[in-house]
Structure formats: structure tokens, C-alpha cells
Structure 1
């Protein structure tokens, strides 16, 4: 801070001790790098001391004159920091009504009338510290910086926009923006300045240099397709004309990149882009249907769907979506969009809201857990858990509780769902079909009598996890709780809360592992038959899609991405006890024939 004041028009202290009494006479204002603003109360020439009262100190400080000469900066009475104390009411009024005037006052205090934004901010922060709390000053300064950008009397340097220079002759806002447009080094910066120029409603002739510059950039062919499109739009908006040739060329010649372009545009820009596609391409409907089914960007899906809806062109999209659902190729992104918008477009989406969709969603949930492709905004299980109407909407379309029971089995067998989510989903099913509660009771009774069939490898894995849990993780957590408790005040102790949350998770996992380990039986090779599908067999199924090999594995060995299925899954359950030549209807509603069966080492 001290260096900032030294560079302003402030009197440096003469180190000559014979003059210190004159320089530091009572009433002189000064600044100390650590103590801040102060005022000289008295001078003791005989002792060579100066008595100074600093704002940050409760009592006056006696300081050696030679020391003061080196570290103190004298502030003239007209300095803004001084005036903020001697004329507080006026300075406070300026801060509220005309903050730019304060910035100009600070810039005038520097020899070259130029300073970095950091220096200006620090001076003003010190000046206004008696009026504004730190968070209030931060908000105030952010607003001032925005005003500086459009202030005709202050110039932001081309080389460093954070440098402020007070101009002798004010520059008109439009001229300032045009110069900043040409000084900008990236297209994004240029487009931002051009957008500000648009708001000034200038005559086309005044904007012609900017238009010509954008035209030249388009001719140089160094821009990406998205940049080309945005440059075309800005050029046409500034000129008030529609030179559509460039935009048409992008849409016609970059067909393979149209989806990538759409994904990179803002929501407002997407609407304009889709309108342009409709006017340029005869296959615009197919193009937008492809956007809906292939994009991983929820905004792109939403914009394309709404555009098709507004143009009465949804029938072909719904047909395509039904086919994708039947083939199990419906994109996860569209499923997420559908869940989010099922109430808004209930009548339009009704052909998709059925048992088949919910079955597919629970398969996706299971797969995304296995493949570890879950993230905060694409977590299907979490989205379905928080949504209050989607499952209920589909359940209302089911003709019987038997079909609902099949869907419920999918939930119960899904290994990626947490206990809380399973309970939530089960409750929704029972609310619609109360008779399913008896089915659950029968299932629980049956499960108590049966042991889980597992491989030796998976048993070893869980036993190792349990050992680590009870010998390392839980003791470490207990120590962490004790240490956090020592920090005091448990109501405000985040470390303690986190440790207790970890404890809950660890104890729940311990109970779960104990239940599993006490209720399992290792599959022995001699128990695996070769004449029927059972746990530990590999089966080849023949369907219209061709031959597919599946392995029926133990309860903890499922790897769906490799067609290795836990015997508890609905798919595997449909195959159990089938022999070669048998025909089976699978949960995905396809029919297949068992071609071969053989034991498989699990």
C-alpha cells in the first residue's frame, strides 16, 4: 500500500532530522504501511520522537523521528483519504451519487494521471473504510468498474485493460468502443464490443469500419464454424442487412458439424441457428430430429424439440424416439430431458411414457453405475429420486399390478441403487398398487430361506473389504471423531459433523457386509450342470439380431458391459433352468432360443 501512495502526489519525508519537526508538525496526516491512516498529535524535538494517533490503534504511538522518515508517507490535506476524514459527508455523498468523480480524484493524485486498477482500488478502499464494510466495498467497486468502461474521461489501456488513464479530452462512448473493438485480440472480445455498439443505435455509416473488419476476418478463413456463424450474425446485425450467403454456406457445407455448432451456442443463439437451418435446408426436420436423438447437450435437445413443436413437426420425432426405445438406443441425455419435461409435454410424450421406458431407465441406471459414468447433472437415479411425478405417470398407464410387479423386481435387483432410493421407489409403486406389499413380504420370507450364490473370488473380495473396514476404516474414523470433538462447540464444528457422517456410512456398510457374508454360499464346480442354464454356465442365445453369449454369474460378479450377469437380475432369472432348444421371452421383450450351454469358471 505504501508504494501506491509514494507514486501519487504525496510529499516524501525528508530524512534530514533537522527538518522532521516541520514536516511532522501537529495536525499532519500520514500513512503507515501496517498501521494505516494517522494524524500527528505532537512532536518532541529533544527526544527525537513523534506522537501519532493511528485509526487502527487505541492509543497514540511514540515513534522515532528517523524511523518515521523512512516508513511514513505524508498525505496532503487535499488527498482523498484525508478528505474522507475531514469532509466525510461530501465524500460519502460522492461515493453514492458520483463514484467516477472519486476515481478521477485518485487518478489526478498520480504524477502521470495514470494508475493500475489495483492501485485505484486500494486508495479508495482506504478512503471509504469508515463508510463501507469490506463486502460492501467489494460490491461498490464492482459497480464502479463497469461504469469506468463507458466513462469518456477514463481510458483503459490497450496493452493492459486494468490500467486507467485520465484523459485531457474526453472520448465519446462510441469511439471508445470502436477503438476497443479493434484493440481486442480475440473474436469473442470483438463480438462483445460490437454488441455494446449495437445498443447505441448508431448510424450504419458510423459502424462501417467494424462491419468491414468482420468481413475481412470471414474472408481469411481462420475462424471455426461457430466463430464464422457468430461473425456473420454480428456483421449483418450491425449493417442492418442480411448477406445470407456466408451463413448459408456454413449450414450447407458443414452438415456433419451442425450438431457441434448447435451445442456450442447459447440458448438464444440456438433459436436463431435452427431458424436458419429451416430456411436453408430442405431436410431440416430430419436434421433437428438428429439433434434431439444424438446431442448430449440438454439445451440443444430442448431448443430442437421446442422448434419442432412450434412448427408442428413432432410426429416424425416421436416415431424415431419409439424406435430408439425399442432398440435400446435412446440417448441418456434425451431420457434426462424427458424426465425433466414430462409434465410440460405430457400429451405429446405420452407414446413414450410406458413400461418399456421405465425398464430401459433402470437398465441405464445399473449400467452407468457399473461403468462409473455418473456425474452431478447426469445422474439418472438421483434425478428420478427427486422427481415427484414421472414414475407415477408411467404407473398410471399400466394395465395391471402384475406388470407393475415385474418393474418392481427390476428395482429390487438393481445393485446400483441406494437403500433410500429403493425405498422411495417401492413406496411409489405400493401407493399405486397396494397389493404389491404382500408380494414384497413373500419375497422377503423366501429370501430369508435362501443363501446367496457367490464365487470364491467375490467372497474373498468382500471378506477383505470387511477386514479393512473393521480393522482400519472404523478405528480411524473413531479417532477422527475424538480429534474433532477436541476443537470445541460441536454445533459449529464442521470437522466433527463430517466425521460423524462418515461414521454413519461406515457402520451402514459394515451391517450390509455382515448380512451378505452371513447369507452366502460359494458355488462349487461340481454343482454346475451342463444341460440347463444355471449359475456358473455360459449360454448362447439366438435372436433376430444374431447370436449373443451371456454368462450367468454369482450375486456379486455381474459385469453387464461384458454380458456377465448376476443370476439375480431379471434377464438372468428369465434364462435359469432353460435347456438347449428352449425359447425364452426376455425382459426387453425380445424372443430368443437357447443354442448352447456350457460350464464357465467364475
Structure 2
């Protein structure tokens, strides 16, 4: 990628920058010149330096960029200490290269000269001139140069390379760290060899210079992310007025395609997160843009729409069979020509795959049924041919596209007399919830209810027999009243046993929701007898997969239904108002905070590498805190009892009383205290918890008794029921 940086009338600067590749730098990437045989080797062997120079002069004007040809001569000049000859020829060589506007060969030549002649000030100064020209806007150019003693000492290429490194990470330069984003260099300190960078949200990071070079890519002035930092309003206007123009500008800074997730991160802040979907749906319509498929879709930009089609077709031709189908579905609508080319290649591959991969061939023909292109060559078969003479379950199950699989299953009743048995087998093997519903309803509506009943009973007793059908059945229990009859001990005990089974990987959250209020588990609990209830209670104690608050809710329902199961528990005394506040907090945790954070975990998981995904780990940590708080509240709410003023015992200090304490020291003031529970405690208002150390010491004291409060002696003067209105 070449960058044109406007700098007024400085013609030398303009020409240098036009030839400069920012990504590789001037001295940062280096590949040694290959050793080659030269036709003046005999002159070198004969120590004929005049003859060597004459040979060089014959080639210097025609091909000065052929550096390997000239290097043996330079080495010989230096080795024989003919530095004046070497210096004079080097100046001529540089003049010829500059006459051809050849910056890269000139840089290569000067690097090689400093490798074989480390104290060549001529090469040193020329490279330094280039660096000063390229990085003339770097604020610390002189500071870095003095720190490295660049002006006084000539010591090969390394000091100049170090200078360029510092210049690329100078103050205010924008850098990019994958998975972290763009940041601005805030401070440089060459004395200790570190830089400090600041990300957009204020996060700071300190890096050694070598770490920065390895981890943080330095960006040019015209890079998209630099413009985003320095001139965000311009990009915001462009995003609204010309979405494709914004993408074109972005891709001008990128040498290759990038994942869609990275593209979105680069546009974050320019496109508001709430507007991303609508903006992207509009922007992606530009025919010059190509977007891959799948969870890790890759995006690229092409100069023209036809160029994009050619790029897609090239990828298509080198893809596997199923990858071809994905590309066809995604891009066939771009143009008739592209659709035709892909269709013909798919048909040829389907014909060749009929025996080794019948499922692929069937998926191709059903995918191309609505294609408007001339299908030449013709297919050797029809979908009906395959479904009739092959095992339809074996063939159709391996079709990857859900809609195509659904279409193929719909053909079976008209082609097989034993379609009921085939559909029953599909209930066992199918994984897509919508297709399972179609199969079940077709069987039920066509008079095969007994097959449906048998499938339900078998699956309930043995969920791993038909995992997809089991999941479908569980979800349908909330909307199909006829399924409630199956929700009993035979349902709930196996359900608890499969919560972490590998056959249901990815569906465990949905299964856990069946234990929420009003869901399938509640319907099963009301049908349990004492023996089954005891079995479920024991299973809940042993279970390690269901969240504690869900287990406790089912446990509480069992204790209500079977009071004999209840253990004696400590009672938590509370006022009505405190109880209501805690209930509201608990409901918010269960129905708002935990579900919202669950979505946040799912969202941040998509950011990539979980080992360095800080947002994901923060969300997981928050989930643990929320779940722990929910369990604590749940346990406390179960043991909470409202203090009834009519039952408060005022013959002694007890929960729900207000007491007047008369000081033993007549110089002290009397104290009025209220004894309530921990949820109502407010020491600033002299409301003490009966479970606190101070409150516990006062309990059971009677009028006239001596008590200790705040390390002072008092006498209980009066006891009465607390006045709720004064709280």
C-alpha cells in the first residue's frame, strides 16, 4: 500500500513519499541480496580494479537497480581499502538510481554498503536524509537522533534502524493492536526504552519499543484508523452520505480481506451500535463488496463489480462441494453471468458425486430447482429418483441446508408407501426443531397419532434416544395443552439427569428454563407422589448442573406439597416493608439482571480468543456474583417471617420492641432503641438488629434489669411495641 502525503511545495518530500511503502518501513524489513556470479570475476581475481570499474561503468546507467551485480565490486574496493574509489562510484550509483525514481533499490544498496562498510558516512547520511524526509513531522525526531548519537557516530545500519523504530512510535502516532483496537501514543521515553499508549476509552498500556514493534502496528497519517482518531466527524458524515465510499476508504488502508467482526470494530464509534444492522444492510448491497458466509465471515473490497464477481468465482472454483453450495446461495443473485457459471460447475460436481455422496447431489438439484440459468450440462437424475431408490433417512439426514432438508422430507409421502415408518425414524434422527414440528404434525394430522404417542413416551424415558425430538417436545409443552399429560415423574427425573449430557450440548440453558416458574417442571411436581417427591428432592441435592436458585424453587414447591420433608430452619424476622424491598430486588435479579448478563456473555464470546477476552471474563464474573446474590436472597426469603405487632411480647426485650434505657451515670442521656431484624437495622436511627452483638445482649432483658450498650451501663426503663410509622 502506497501513501501520498501532501506537504506543500517540498518536491523532494513528495517524490520520496510516493515511492515509500509505510507498512514495510524504510529499514525495518530486510532481505539480503542473493549471491550471484558476475562476469567480471576474473578481473577481481586478478586484482584489476581499473578493469572492474570499467565493467561497472558499462552497466551503471542501464541497470543500476541490479544491486547483486555491483556488490562484489564494492566488497573488493573496501577490502583493498580503496574507499575513495568506492565512495565516488557509490555517489554515481545513487545518482543513477534517483534518476530512475528507484527508492527501494537505493535503500537496498545503502543497507548493503553499511553491512560491508559500517563506517561509510556517505551511505549513513543518505539513509538519514530519507528518514528525516519521511518522518519530518515527528515531534521528537531530533531527540531520538541525539539519544542514538546519529549525527556524531557512524556504526552500521542498526542505529538508523532504531531511529526509524522510534519515529514510527513517536508521540501522537496512531497504532493498532489486534483484539484491542487502535490507540494513540501518549508518551515516549528513549532513556528507558518504553512508550505509553492510550486507547479510545482511556485504557493505557506501556510497551517496550521491541514489544511495540511486535504487537502494535504503526499506522500512517492517511490510514483509516488515524483519520478516525483525528477527524471522526468527516467519517461520520461519509457514513451517512456514502456508505460504500466509507468502506472504500477503509479498505484502501488494508492490504487484504478482514473478518466481519474486525470490520465492525473498526467502524465502532462512526456507526452507532444501535444503527449497525440497518447501516450494514444498506452498505453491503454495493456490488464491489464481497462478504463470506458463516460465523467468521470475511469481507473484501474490489475495484469494480465485475472484479468482485471474478474474485467470488475464483474462490468458488477452489472450494469444496458444500462450500460451493454456500457460496452459490450467498452470491448467485449478484449477476446472471455469475449464477450461470456457478450452476454449471455445481451440476457437473453433482453428476460426479451421485454414488459417493448422494446427499450432496440431492442438495444440489433441490438448490438449483429455481435457477433461471441454462443448466448445461444437464443433470443425470431427479430428486424423486434419489428418494425412491435410496434410503431416504440416510440420504436426507446428511443434507446440510435446513430448508433443502425440509423440502426433501416433504417429498417422501408421495414416493413411499411406508412413509409413516420413515417419518417415525426422522423423529429420532432430525435435529432441527421446525422440521421436527412439521414431521410430527404431518403424522398426527394424517391419522398416525399412535406413532406420535409412542415416540413421546420412548423419548421421555430415554432422552438421548432422540435428542432433537426431546428438545422440541420440551419447548412445546408450554403451548400444546395435550402434552401436559406426559409431565410426571417419568419426565422430570430423567430431565434432571441429562442437564449436562453431551447429546444436548448448546441446549443446556433451554433445558434449565424448564425449571422456572410455570414451566414443565412445575406441572410435573404437582403429579408426584411422596416416593417420587423424595427421589426428586434427593436428586436436587446431588445435582451440580442446575443453578441453586432454580433448585431451591423446586425444592420449596416440594416442601409445600410434602411438609413432612421440611427440615427445621432458622427464622428471619422482617418488617413487611423490608420484605417487599427484598422481593423486588430478587425478582429484578431473576427476570432482568441475570437474563441481560447472559446475553452479554453470549455477545462477548463472539469477540474471539477467550483467553484474552476481558469483556467475556468480566461478564462471567458478574454472572457468578448475580447468581450468588440471587441464591442468598432466595434462601433468606424462604425463612423470612413478618413481625406481627399484635404478637410482640413486651414483658421483655424481644424482636419488635422499642425500649427506653436509663443511664446508670446520671450525667448521660437516656437512649431509645428499637429491636428489629437485620434487613431493618439502621444504627444511625438507633434501630438494632436482634442478630447483632449489641442487639443480642439486650434480648430477654426485663424492666429494671441492668444492661450494657455501647460499653455503658443502663437500666431498662420501659418496653413497648415499636411504632412502624416512625421508621
Q: TM-score normalised to the size of structure 1?
A: 0.48
Q: TM-score normalised to the size of structure 2?
A: 0.41
